[in-house]
Structure 1
């Protein structure tokens, strides 16, 4: 069967990282900004490793300067996601890039994003929610105003808080103030861990930040006691196989641990992370997982329901999306 139209739920998507290269090139030309070095000769994003990827990501993001730019970005991202069957998506947003951490400036960006999201729900049938993230390599002090932005704008659209960026910079415990602030505001919590930081980074995120979900988390497989703990506690992993393979964390799809984690009872989900950077889509993720592990509609149905159960949305939204998923069963 074709997986393209299969209804999907995506929990791990970086808003700027989902920007099509052509969109960023066009915006740079409009603003007379030369970022040609972030593209290769075919017009794709060009980077050499994860740290270089982060710098390319931030260079591409630099042309997004106004709420209107983010409105246009949101439209482009949602059109692409909807084209691959995504009916519910959570996107990582950082007020660092949208107003420099100032709450009032962030509100303007948020209004522009949310307005487009509301329209896309009516016209494209895709529901979007926002998870605000602080940037780890910007440091814990910079994370504080981001958490305040999250707390001040928590509501129907902004439902979660997390941390992304270079796992090699600092420890999760350095960011406890930001996470405590978000938790007290009633936001759901997630954290990138277990991608480059190893299994201990997953433990630290659970212990120090008390998160409900882990972004990536796949390096937990190197510590089976941790794997069993994740399964027992019902922690959901936002797994991005295509991202992990493209960045060289695993040599190929068959060597990716998502199936081992699933077999040991861990709640795993599937997402694209930064799709144009990793030459992937939700359709491709499904196709490659079918090819690598023989996953069928029954398994993908399980994965999708797991994602919806772990989604940072209200129960009315969850029930509405569940009805859309029933069409694939």
Structure 2
């Protein structure tokens, strides 16, 4: 549906359009597997294993955290209940069920050998097999396609990142399609991890990294220059430097934007203050993702609805976003063509 956003529309017509937008097929490029674990799933796993999860949940059962550093601690505490490949098979199924229910037809998940076998290659292979098994099952039963992006954790340091990159390089292929970095952006610098990114690049993996979420536009510049990535996780603070914005447009970089995450963590006070629309208007390729959806009380359909209500985006705008996401995906061309077909492109 394409319409002039300034054209008068009745309330009933508007709410009908919102429902159409929520139901659109979607592509998600920025999703942390453990961070997408439903709270009930983690509580159940903890109970089964007699693992105490003190301070992980609020009284209402949601995840508890005060700020970004506390969020990282809660994330890692919740992840502590996931100890076997079977745990990750079950987690992957639970996450894909939620994604599919929100209309996601293709997803790329950040997964880390640091949490899957402690960074040891043989153990990582076992975890990877379990996640792939769940991915294949969900593909058949739910119609959703999943691919993995191996991710090092910035605050674990460059030496650990090298072990993670080796795991990525040794398992690169049709399912492990990328390499990236998450974690605390305020620790170290992007260039500290250049060796790991070079290793992943040489193995044929596409590259992304978190940048420009907590630190300013210079962090995005560092990521582009020092790690030579194709996509930027978040990247929203690039808007503070129009010269950088113009460079992102000229070079065709894609931002994995997570509006709900940015607002919940306090990067921006509310969605109206979020720069996604300004970035898009200046020609930056933006995509929409949830990051760690249950932590941030969101889902892909909610992200679409909230953006529609805030910026008056119509269904055609979201179809454009989904196509941009599919075109920026790290998958092979056969998979991309199939995803674009499902988007109606």
TM superposition score normalised by structure 2: 0.94
Cα distance in 2 for partners of 1:52, 1:283 equals 27
TM-aligned CA deviation for residue 98 of structure 1:
0.3
Question: Tell me, what secondary structure is at the counterpart of 2:105?
Answer: strand
Deviations 1:96-132 (A, max 9, x none): 0001111110000000000010111111000000000
Of 275, 278, 296, the residue aligned with 2:293 is 275
Q: Which residue of 2 aligns with 1:193?
A: 211
Q: Matches of residues 102-251 of structure 1 in structure 2 within 5 Å?
A: 102-251=120-269
Q: Which residue of 1 aligns with 2:303?
A: 285
TM-aligned CA deviation for residue 177 of structure 1:
0.6
Q: Which residue of 1 aligns with 2:60?
A: 42
TM-aligned CA deviation for residue 68 of structure 1:
0.3
CA contact (8 A) 2:25 2:103 kept: yes
Deviations 1:70-95 (A, max 9, x none): 00000000000000000000000000
CA contact (8 A) 2:190 2:226 kept: yes
Cα distance in 2 for partners of 1:223, 1:51 equals 26
Q: Which residue of 2 aligns with 1:68?
A: 86
TM-aligned CA deviation for residue 298 of structure 1:
1.1
Deviations 1:46-69 (A, max 9, x none): 000000000000000000000000
TM-aligned CA deviation for residue 4 of structure 1:
3.2
The structure with the largest alpha-carbon Rg is 2
Cα distance in 2 for partners of 1:292, 1:5 equals 18
Q: Which residue of 1 aligns with 2:274?
A: 256
TM-aligned CA deviation for residue 209 of structure 1:
0.1
Question: Tell me, what secondary structure is at the counterpart of 1:321?
Answer: helix
Q: Which ranges in structure 1 are unaligned for 5 or more consecutive residues?
A: none
Q: Which residue of 1 aligns with 2:3?
A: none
Q: Does residue 318 of structure 2 align to residue 317 of structure 1?
A: no
Deviations 1:152-205 (A, max 9, x none): 000111000000000011101100110000000000000000000110000000
Cα distance in 2 for partners of 1:198, 1:30 equals 43
TM-aligned CA deviation for residue 136 of structure 1:
0.1
Q: Which ranges in structure 2 are unaligned for 5 or more consecutive residues?
A: 1-16
TM-aligned CA deviation for residue 5 of structure 1:
2.2
Q: Which residue of 2 aligns with 1:80?
A: 98
Cα distance in 1 for partners of 2:338, 2:162 equals 34
CA contact (8 A) 2:22 2:305 kept: no
Question: Tell me, what secondary structure is at the counterpart of 2:343?
Answer: helix
More moved, 293-302 vs 83-92? 293-302
TM-aligned CA deviation for residue 36 of structure 1:
3.2
Matched residue count: 327
TM superposition score normalised by structure 1: 0.99
Cα distance in 2 for partners of 1:250, 1:4 equals 24
Deviations 1:284-328 (A, max 9, x none): 1000100110001111011110000000000000011111101xx
CA RMSD of aligned residues (A): 0.7
CA contact (8 A) 2:63 2:294 kept: yes
Q: Which runs of 4+ in 1 moved over 4 A?
A: none
